Chains A and B, each alone.
Chain A
Amino acid sequence: MTDTIEIDRLQKRYGSRIALHELDLQVRPGTVFGLIGPNGAGKTTTLRTLVDVIRPSSGSVRVLGEDPRHGGAALRRRIGYVPGELHLEGRSSGHRMLSFYAQVSGSRDATATLRTGRELADRLGVDLSRPVRTLSKGNKQKVGLIQAFMHRPELLILDEPTSGLDPLVQREFLQMVREAKSAGQTVLLSSHVLSEIQQTADEVAVLANGRVVADGDVASLRLGSIRRVRAEISTTDAAAARADFDRVPGLGGVEVHDSDGILSISGTVDGAIDPFINVLARFEVRDLTVEEPDLEESVLRLYGASAANAGAATSEAAPTNEPPTRRARRGREGRR
């Protein structure tokens, strides 16, 4: 079975600026694929290429077996798309807007599509009778999701779909993605929030500076293994406490402040959290925060070196430092 999306050496240049460097990506049918990376990594550029909003400078793109450029409107009718920056203007109501898109997309009858749209609106809690321009950002985003999902397309391309949504609606959205997957639809979504991808995606590609710096299943990427920690403990011997924390494996970037017997420690823990907790437990803990770092931090920490070297990688980078991508693996296999 061919892949739903096949991107081969996709390159996009804007003048002298290169937005995408020879990007490779494969999305298998019926899976949820997550595209993550910091802002400006090239996620939106990649997704817009898939719906022929922008055209590649070089390389090839196939979506549902067709080149988006030639597949045209007929191909896009089989796709649901949420743009990264959704602007909904105009006097017309959400209902009118959805009714328009129900006419132009999908293979089903417009009334059936619209019925699904109304059900989704009830589910997400958005009033379709109001003019779309008067809706809040979150509610506009809901309308954006509905127009992508309502015609039950074979492929959903969602660019930062949860931006502006409150946590409850985000959860509903993740449920919608799971349902789409059970119905056999393929989903490609981008995010700069790691947890969102972790909860839904089967496979992930990490983008940085227009390159795939890592891909594979979510767990294998170790992205979730970095946590930012901050703790306040009571201690009379700050130096001894500091020495204890220095011995914790994986704890890095430590900053310590001592004031009146309260020691504040902050840093990042890479790998298991248990050793850090064990050391903490010896003290009276007055405050503790453990949080997921932002994606940029994780990507740069884990793949920063390879992302920076990727340009050089084409001219034989050190084999030990190769990015964990399909391209790199393919290259290694080729050399064997």
Chain B
Amino acid sequence: MNGILPVFRRNLRESWRSLLGWTIGIAAVLFLYLPLYSSLGGDGQLEAMISSLPKELVDTLGYDQISTGAGYAQSTFFGLIGFLLLTIAAVIWGSAAIAGAEESGRAELDLAHGIGRGQYALESALAVLVRLLWLGAFAGLVVWALNGPSELGIDDRNIVGASAALTGLAFLTASAALLAGAATGRRIWATGVGAGIAVLGYILQALAKQSKDLEWLNALSPYAWVYQRPPLSEGVDLGGLALTWGLAIVFVVASVFALRARDLRG
């Protein structure tokens, strides 16, 4: 045996360009949105603008808290565009990890060598996790850096919590895609399941906001698990955070068994 975690290292080596691209994208979004707050939010301009929108729309987009710095960062980045970007990255990486490798024929060659199937699934998952952690940490770092200049007034610890929530959501999506790929070997299934979980989670919590009768839907939405209690103003809900990360880890472990159990597709 030469060298540790060969699959993990290869995956990272091959994806640094794309990771750089995502990093730049996230930086661009944050530098575009957050500095606007000081010019919009301070004098109630933003509040006036929001109050002219239909209440249902404001609730759906999570703009109800937008007049505070924490609410603004949550509704523009953590709850919306950052969530979208990390979800897309998670779906792409999660479905490429096993299903993509299998469809391209690479998994057959890899797994005919001295690499175990469980090892393959775990190292692939780890490579996705590390990339998502990087994006999440980087986003948190930029928010922290802009916190003062943009007069957001967010507690530093809450930035950590919100970043962990965002990363956890993305990793849950990625691990769902990974599991679907491990079970079927089909990229389309992996992408569908990953994106499906993310979209469903978002829709369920948006519906839950519309009426008291639908609030129970929050229980089914990972998005609500970590975001229902506003992480940037009130601190992240640790139970929800643990549930999200825990489920993601369960999916990763399940994908080990799923990949071990079946024939590879040729």
Contact = CB atoms under 8 A, between A and B. Distances in A.
Contacts of A83: 105, 108-109, 112, 266
Contacts of B61: none
Contacts, number: 81
Nearest to A78: B114
A100 B104 contact: no
A105 B264 CA distance: 20
B157 interface: no
A102 B2 contact: yes
B213 interface: no
**Interface of chain B, main secondary structure:** loop
Contact of A103 (B6, B112, B116, B119): B6
Contacts of A1: none
A109 B264 CA distance: 29
B200 interface: no
Interface in A55-112: 55, 72-74, 76-77, 79, 81, 83-92, 96, 100-106, 109-110
B36 interface: no
Interface string B1-15: 011001000100110
Interface string A255-285: 0000000000000000000000000000000
A52 B263 CA distance: 8
Contacts of B110: 104
Interface in B215-262: 262
Interface residues of B, number: 23
Contact of B264 (A44, A53, A88): A53
B109 A147 contact: yes
B113 A105 contact: yes
B112 A51 contact: yes
Contacts of B112: 51-53, 76, 79, 81, 83
A73 B108 contact: no
A86 B106 CA distance: 8
16 contacts: A48-B266, A53-B108, A54-B263, A55-B263, A72-B116, A73-B119, A76-B112, A76-B114, A77-B113, A85-B266, A91-B14, A100-B10, A103-B2, A103-B3, A104-B6, A144-B109
